[in-house]
């Protein structure tokens, strides 16, 4: 009986090691094509690429990053899109990012977007309040749950990509403290909600 148990234990261990090797080295399709096809300008909006700072190039190593400023309906917005296919640890909880930047989250409300929800935040630093919007998108659905993002990326790696597209993190921040008509923003800039 003991030899049989040892056999199954060794079989399970060898299987786990082989699967670990397979998962580690099996290439997954990234979301760079979705990012590359995102237009710089269109009807009602126009953007400008912002180069990464040297520390960002090091921090975002192996991550596809899009940084742009867009003029949409007379207001300017800073937009960041991250694809963590090769390094998902860099794509972390946006709440953590804002707090790490010295912002306090005053409010967090769900905001309906195409095929899901984003989080609409009011953040405050040094007495100044700003708004921000963020969500994760796998190309089909959108949500603002960092836990769901982690589960999606884990399942994607376990299934070798068969579970769906890589979720992107999309963050939108207005460059001023002026109030934002987010419904108008989504209408004028609908391409952002299709990535």
Asked if residue 123 belongs to a domain, the reply is yes
Contact call for residues 86 and 63 (beta carbons, < 8 A): yes
Domain-located, residue 4: no
Q: Are 31 and 81 in contact (CB under 8 A)?
A: no
Is 6 contained in some domain? no
CA dist 87 and 172 (Å) reads 22
Give the residues across from 63 on adjacent strands. Answer: none
Within-domain flag for 57: yes
Per-residue pLDDT, averaged over 100-104, amounts to 90
**CA pair distance 31, 83, nearest whole angstrom:** 6
Choose among 86, 75, 187, 88: nearest CA to 136: 88
Rounded distance between C-alpha atoms, residue 48 and residue 113, angstroms: 24
pLDDT band at 1 (very low <50, low <70, confident <90, very high): low
For 62, the domain range is 29-194
How far apart, in whole angstroms, are the C-alpha atoms of residue 77 and residue 174? 4
* 179, part of any domain: yes
Does any domain span residue 12? no
Residue 125 lies in a domain: yes
Mean pLDDT of the chain: 89
Number of domains composing the chain: 1
In-domain check, residue 126: yes
pLDDT of residue 172: 97
d(CA 181, CA 10): 61
At residue 17 the predicted structure's pLDDT band, cuts being 50, 70 and 90, is confident
Q: How far is CA 69 from the centre of its chain?
A: 17
């Amino acid at each position: 009986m003991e030899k049989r148990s040892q056999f199954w234990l060794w079989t399970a261990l060898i299987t786990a090691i082989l699967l670990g090797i397979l998962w580690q080295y099996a290439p997954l399709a990234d979301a760079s094509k979705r990012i590359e096809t995102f237009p710089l300008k269109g009807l009602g909006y126009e953007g400008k690429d912002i180069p990464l700072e040297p520390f960002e190039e090091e921090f975002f190593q192996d991550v596809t990053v899009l940084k742009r400023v867009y003029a949409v309906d007379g207001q300017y917005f800073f937009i960041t899109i991250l694809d963590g296919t090769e390094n998902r640890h860099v794509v972390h909880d946006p709440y953590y990012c804002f707090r790490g930047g010295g912002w306090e989250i005053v409010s967090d409300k769900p905001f309906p977007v195409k095929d899901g929800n984003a989080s609409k935040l009011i953040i405050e630093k040094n007495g100044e309040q700003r708004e921000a919007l963020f969500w994760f998108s796998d190309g089909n659905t959108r949500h603002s749950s960092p836990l769901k993002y982690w589960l999606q990326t884990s399942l994607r790696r376990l299934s070798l990509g068969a579970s769906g597209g890589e979720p992107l993190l999309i963050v939108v921040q207005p460059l001023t403290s002026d109030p934002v008509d987010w419904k108008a923003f989504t209408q004028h800039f609908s391409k952002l909600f299709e990535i």
